[in-house]
Structure formats: structure tokens, C-alpha cells
Amino acid sequence: MEKQIDRINFDLKQYISALFVRAGVLPWFLGIALITFSFASDNFLTTNNILGVARHSTDLILVAMAQMIVMLTAGLDFSVGVILAMTSVVASMTMVALWSGYGSGWEAITIGCLAGLFVGGSIGLVNGIGVAFFRVPPFIMTLGMSSIIFGLALTITGGIPVYGAPESFTNIFGYGTLFGLSITIWVTLFFILLIYIFINLTKMGRYFYAIGGNLRAAELSGINTRVYIVSAYVLSALVTSIAALLITARLETGEPNIGANYPLLSIAACAIGGVSLLGGVGRVQNVVLGAFFIILIQNGMNLMRVGSYLQMVVIGVLLIVAIGAEYFRQQMLSQAKI
């Protein structure tokens, strides 16, 4: 009888280990969160609350996917926060300068959005050139750019939000709906599909994996690694700028102070979603779920009336646990292959 029980326990451990290796840490985190917050609040699993979480997670989903693009090449982008801020400021200032105050102002909106995307992409270009051509470590390069761009954003605005963008911009991209869902959700779904196709079905996407997996091997196979690393940072910045435009529309102002938490949150979403900090490993769908999970956690803690300072502690702990668990999973995976 005891041998039979031991056998069952051994099989159960084997099954759990295999499930952990295949699925990663995210399903476990999601399961624990759903059970905990469902018991803590009756409002947690309501349709309105879940739709609210989906809407509020759109910004982080976009920034997390942008972060993933860089992390696939074994990089990190700590400048995503200031890209959000600078894009918001430049787009708003351009709209205000070009809009007459009458009519829909679509010309001003279009030019303002393009100006914001151009500035965001330019920041990514500088990051990429610094990392790829001057061999500055990604952490140092993007952290240094964060300080530079944040200082410029505050200098341009004097630390004061930029008001006066056309109402059409806010009404549609901030609070507009289509078939009962927020426009921001539709925009985010479109970019999820676009980035999924790009990462999985294009040559450039496969090269990102190759560069992050083994830079030297990628170079020897004929891949122009410098060009693709620069491209990764530019694409990451452009996707982040899209998120900045959606945030600007929702806030109705150009904010030089937005984005401070996004570097940590985006890296946490990627780590929880199984993206390796060493590069070459990661899936778009898991990153999307990782970002949704973080906003879900924040929502659950808000319903439980957990303070914002303590929420920062929880997110930090989740990041550490996720990275540790992912490293442990990779070790188990390597042993299984041997």
C-alpha cells in the first residue's frame, strides 16, 4: 500500500514537473490570482471588471511587446518610459500648434501623431546605434537615454502638461467604442496580430531569435547583426509610441511625467511570459498574457484596497520569482534534452 502511494506521489510530481517545463510560470500565477481575488471580492470576475482590466492593460501590452522585440536580441530597453513621455509631449504640442480650435482637426491629429512616432523612432534609432555600433551595453545605453530624454521633455514643457489637443482625438482614440469594445482594445488587438505575424512569419523576426540565441553564430551565418539590432530598437520604440498616443488620447493632455513605471512593468510582463533575459526565447501570446496578468493583479489589489506602495512591492516580488522560476525551468529543459 505504501509503495503504491509513493508511486502515485512520484507520478504526480513527474506530471507537475512536465507541466511546469512545458507551460512555464504564467499559468500557475494566473490560477493563484484568479482563485485568490475571486474569494476576496465578488466584483472581480464580473464582465464589467474583466473588460475594464482588458482596456487598462492595452498600454502595458503594447509596451511589453515592444520590450520583447528588444529582449529577443539579448537586449533591454529602459527608455520605454521616456519614449512614452516624449511622444506624448511632441504629438500634443504639434496638434495644439496646428489646430485652429474649430472643426475636427484631423490634419493636426495626423501630423501630430506622425511627429510623435518620428520622435519615438528616433530615440530607438539612437539606442540601436549605441548598442550595435558602439558596443554600449543595452542597460547603460537605454538608461542614459532615459535621463537625456526625460530632461528634454521637462525642459520643453517646463514640467507642465500640454493641453488643447483636438477633441476628436480624445473622443475616438481615448473613449470611442466599436461593437461594444473600446477603440484602444481594437487597436491593441490589431498590433498583437501584426507583431505575432512579424515575429513568427518573417525573416527579420527569425533573425531576432537567432541573434539573441547566439550572436557569434548569427554573424558567421551571414546575418548583418548590427542592422537587425538597430531595427529591433527602432521597432520597439515605434510600438511604444503607439501606446503613448493612446495614453495621450485618454488623458487628454501631453504628459512629460508618464511612463515612469513602464520599464519595470514591461520587463516583468516579459519575464512572467517566459521571455529570456539572455535572448532568443519568447512568445508574443505569453507576453500579452503576462501584461494582462500584471494589470489583473493591480485590479485585484485595488478591489482589496491594497495601497499603491505595497502594490509596487508585490510587482517587484513577482518579477524576481518569475525570473528565478524561468531560470529553473530552463535548467530542467536542458537536462531533459540531455
Per-chain mean pLDDT for the chain: 89
User: Is 90 exceeded by the pLDDT of residue 325?
Assistant: no
pLDDT recorded at residue 34: 87
Give the pLDDT band of residue 260 (cuts 50, 70, 90): confident
pLDDT recorded at residue 13: 63
Q: What is the 8-class DSSP label of residue 137?
A: -
User: Is 80 exceeded by the pLDDT of residue 18?
Assistant: no
Residue type, 153: A
User: What percent of the chain shows pLDDT beyond 70?
Assistant: 91
User: Is 90 exceeded by the pLDDT of residue 89?
Assistant: yes
Q: Which of 45-54, 201-210, 307-316 has the highest mean pLDDT?
A: 201-210
User: Is 80 exceeded by the pLDDT of residue 24?
Assistant: no
Q: Of 242, 218, 220, which is closest to residue 229 (Cα–Cα)?
A: 218
Alpha-carbon gap, residue 170 to 107, rounded angstroms: 15
Query: Under a CB-based contact definition with an 8 Å cutoff, are residues 112 and 270 in contact?
Result: no
User: Is 60 exceeded by the pLDDT of residue 10?
Assistant: no
User: Is 60 exceeded by the pLDDT of residue 75?
Assistant: yes
Least reliable range by pLDDT among 14-18, 207-211, 291-295: 14-18
User: Is 70 exceeded by the pLDDT of residue 94?
Assistant: yes
Domain 25-326 in CATH 1.10.3470? The answer is yes
User: Is 70 exceeded by the pLDDT of residue 186?
Assistant: yes
Q: Which own/partner contact pairs does 148-154 have at CB distance under 8 Å and 24+ positions apart?
A: 149/79, 149/82, 149/83, 149/85, 149/86, 149/123, 150/81, 150/82, 150/85, 150/256, 152/86, 153/82, 153/85, 153/86, 153/89, 153/256, 154/256
